[in-house]
Amino acid sequence: MSGLVGRLRAAFGGKTEPAGLPEGMRIYAVGDIHGRDDLLDELMARIEQDARSAPFNRNILIFLGDYVDRGLQSKQVLDRLTAAGPAGFERVFLKGNHEQALLQFLSDAGFGKTWKYYGGLETLHSYGITELTLSDDPADFERARERFNDILPEAHRHFLEMLQLSAEFGGYFFAHAGVRPGVPLHRQIEEDLLWIREDFLESSSRYGKVVVHGHTPREEVVLRPNRIGVDTGAYMTGVLTALVLEGEAKRFLQTGDLPLAVAG
């Protein structure tokens, strides 16, 4: 009975214990990349160096989505993520709203004008598709869609179609955008996991687990009792962030300046 009460209390905003991970597990949760393969390369080097400095039984890389759009290297990002990962790491890839948008364009040229001004033009350019640079003609959107379908590597398509919506480890729940307050974590819907903003960001609800998310860029990492936001606007700021979780401790690695450290 006490377990049931605890689960209900967690689902509807009750007090939660400090979040943590099982002994021997370390997680690196990477924020929104948005076509900045240069920053991803730098951050991955820091992550691998960090992992070597203090070995753990399990090193898990969780990518929080929005790999494409806005930056100029979306194809290169997907090339990297679909290749073999670094030795000694498990990898989890979550779906972002920009991956959803790319997939929608592949099946619906009519969505192209929305996607073009949403960062999609840069993604198409990274694949060498330039028909839409100076055109909003519906016929050009259809031609671009057909060409994109023809040249998109099958590994990229499979990767995009198989992305997870969420992941859970220890006291943490990982999703691209966040969760709907008042809805148990196991009943969250795709639209909220990929798109939610204010209703989640402004809420003080507790969810039973701390939610780790990206989606909403901020100049600095956001640390709240109920959530941790790690989207530091890489495509604009040049700062790509990874949250590092070990037991009940948390710290951050970033591109650019020296890594941040935050007490857990």
**Amino acid occupying residue 199:** D
Domain extent, residue 55, equals: 29-254
Is there a domain that residue 133 lies in? yes
Q: What are phi and psi of 156, to 5 degrees?
A: -70, -45
Is there a domain that residue 186 lies in? yes
Is there a domain that residue 20 lies in? no
Q: What is the mean pLDDT of residues 218-246?
A: 96
Q: Is the pLDDT of residue 68 over 70?
A: yes
Count of domains observed in the chain = 1
Is there a domain that residue 260 lies in? no
Angle made by CA atoms 206, 188, 239, in degrees to the nearest 5: 70
For 9-25, the pLDDT digits (tens) are: 444 444 445 689 999 99
**Separation between Cα atoms, residue 87 and residue 254, nearest integer Å:** 21
Is there a domain that residue 8 lies in? no
**Separation between Cα atoms, residue 94 and residue 33, nearest integer Å:** 12
CATH number at residue 227: 3.60.21.10
Is there a domain that residue 179 lies in? yes
Q: Are 50 and 244 in contact (CB under 8 A)?
A: yes
pLDDT of residue 256: 84
Q: What is the mean pLDDT of residues 232-247?
A: 96
**Separation between Cα atoms, residue 179 and residue 213, nearest integer Å:** 9
For 141-194, the pLDDT digits (tens) are: 999 999 999 999 999 999 999 999 999 999 999 999 999 999 999 999 999 999
Length of the chain: 264
**Separation between Cα atoms, residue 101 and residue 89, nearest integer Å:** 29
Would you call 11 helix, strand, or coil by DSSP? helix
Is there a domain that residue 264 lies in? no
Stated pTM of the model:
0.90
Is there a domain that residue 58 lies in? yes
Q: What is the mean pLDDT of residues 215-244?
A: 96
pLDDT, greater one: 258 or 33: 33
